[in-house]
């Protein structure tokens, strides 16, 4: 509907935006630099950010950029995971059939990671997303993942990703040993106001738009509501575009935005 009405070639503000076409905000670039550093140095780190700020998208971009002859990417995103299933899942992703007992699976995992590192010169890059939802026992398992070093050589890079409350949880005394090991940190914030304007234009151009669709006033109103958080911008923009389609209007202005935001509040 939107594409046809505005003469676009694709759907703007889609979740599936290819990682080679992401908007490169300053914080996104900094975040990527930090992630690549963690991978290169096989370190452990923490990526935090508000819901919808682009954490998982950054991880997707990292995965797509990895040289598969050197790295093995593992991605876990399951808040209900129990420690036993955690190792099973890690092993499955490495293409290994896990043994039944948790202690065996844990050992198998440790061997597999070292074996990849020593005999194939491959580093495992493990990402645990939505980690703010994990129970304490799972956080303790993350501690195990960070602990199997030999002579301070680590065969793996571990990136723990979560919403800001994860940072608060990790400050608790109980989790200090993990926190100390996650020594590279980045907090992904919202876009700056000027960046948000570029972001919206970027998204529309990526969908084939030839000219601007949102007025400057519309952009200001969207920024005031979304504080530059990508997913919120996407949601508001799509709603505004639909509203404009229904009214057969080719420009989205502050009135469309105000109408949509009132609907959000209802």
Ligand X SMILES: Nc1ncnc2c1ncn2[C@@H]1O[C@H](COP(=O)(O)OP(=O)(O)O)[C@@H](O)[C@H]1O
Is there a contact between 146 and 181 (Cβ–Cβ < 8 Å)?
yes
Q: Which among ligand X, Mg ion, none contacts residue 47 (Cβ within 5 to 8 A by kind)?
A: none
Give CA–CA dist 40/213, Å, rounded. 41
> Applying CB under 6 A, what is the total number of residues that bind ligand X?
16
CB atoms < 10 A from the CB of 113, how many? Answer: 23
Residue whose Cβ sits closest to ligand X = 54
Q: Which among ligand X, Mg ion, none contacts residue 49 (Cβ within 5 to 8 A by kind)?
A: ligand X
Q: Which among Mg ion, ligand X, none contacts residue 51 (Cβ within 5 to 8 A by kind)?
A: ligand X
Q: Which of 226, 230, 216 is nearest to 260 (CA)?
A: 226
Does 48 help bind ligand X (rule: CB under 6 A)?
Answer: no
Q: Which is nearer to ligand X, 49 or 155 (CB)?
A: 49
Does 15 help bind ligand X (rule: CB under 6 A)?
Answer: yes
Q: What single-letter DSSP state applies at residue 121?
A: -
Residue found under tokens 């209802």 = 266
Q: Tell me if residue 150 falls in helix, strand or coil.
A: strand
Q: Which is nearer to Mg ion, 64 or 263 (CB)?
A: 64
Q: Burial letters for 31-57: b for 16+ Cβ neighbours within 10 Å, e otherwise?
A: bbebbeebbeebbbbbbbbbebbbbbb
Min CB(88)–ligand X separation in Å: 24
Does 230 help bind ligand X (rule: CB under 6 A)?
Answer: yes
Q: Of 43, 234, 237, 256, which one interacts with ligand X (CB under 6 A)?
A: 234
The site for Mg ion (CB under 5 A) is made up of 56
- List residues near ligand X by CB under 6 A: 15, 17, 22-23, 28, 49, 51-57, 230-231, 234
């Amino acid at each position: 509907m939107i594409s046809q009405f505005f003469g676009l070639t694709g759907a703007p503000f889609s979740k599936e935006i290819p990682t080679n076409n992401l908007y490169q905000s300053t914080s996104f670039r900094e975040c990527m630099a930090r992630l690549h550093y963690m991978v290169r140095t096989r370190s452990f780190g923490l990526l935090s950010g508000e819901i919808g700020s682009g954490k998982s998208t950054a991880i997707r971009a990292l995965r797509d950029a990895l040289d598969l002859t050197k790295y093995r990417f593992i991605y876990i995103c399951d808040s209900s995971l129990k420690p036993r299933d955690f190792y099973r899942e890690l092993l499955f992703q490495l293409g290994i059939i896990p043994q039944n007992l948790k202690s065996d699976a844990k050992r198998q995992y440790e061997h597999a990671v070292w074996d990849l590192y020593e005999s194939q010169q491959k580093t495992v890059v493990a990402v645990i997303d939505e980690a703010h939802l994990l129970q304490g026992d799972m956080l303790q398992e993350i501690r195990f993942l960070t602990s199997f070093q030999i002579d301070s050589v680590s065969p793996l890079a571990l990136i723990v990703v979560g919403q800001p409350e994860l940072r608060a949880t990790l400050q608790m005394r109980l989790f200090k040993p993990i926190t100390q090991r996650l020594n590279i940190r980045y907090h992904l914030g919202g876009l700056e106001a000027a960046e948000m304007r570029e972001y919206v234009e970027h998204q529309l151009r990526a969908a084939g738009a030839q000219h601007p669709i949102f007025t400057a006033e519309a952009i200001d109103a969207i920024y005031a509501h979304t504080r530059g958080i990508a997913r919120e911008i996407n949601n508001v923009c799509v709603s505004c575009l639909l509203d404009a389609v229904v009214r057969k209007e080719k420009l989205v202005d502050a009135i469309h935005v105000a109408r949509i935001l009132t609907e959000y509040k209802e």
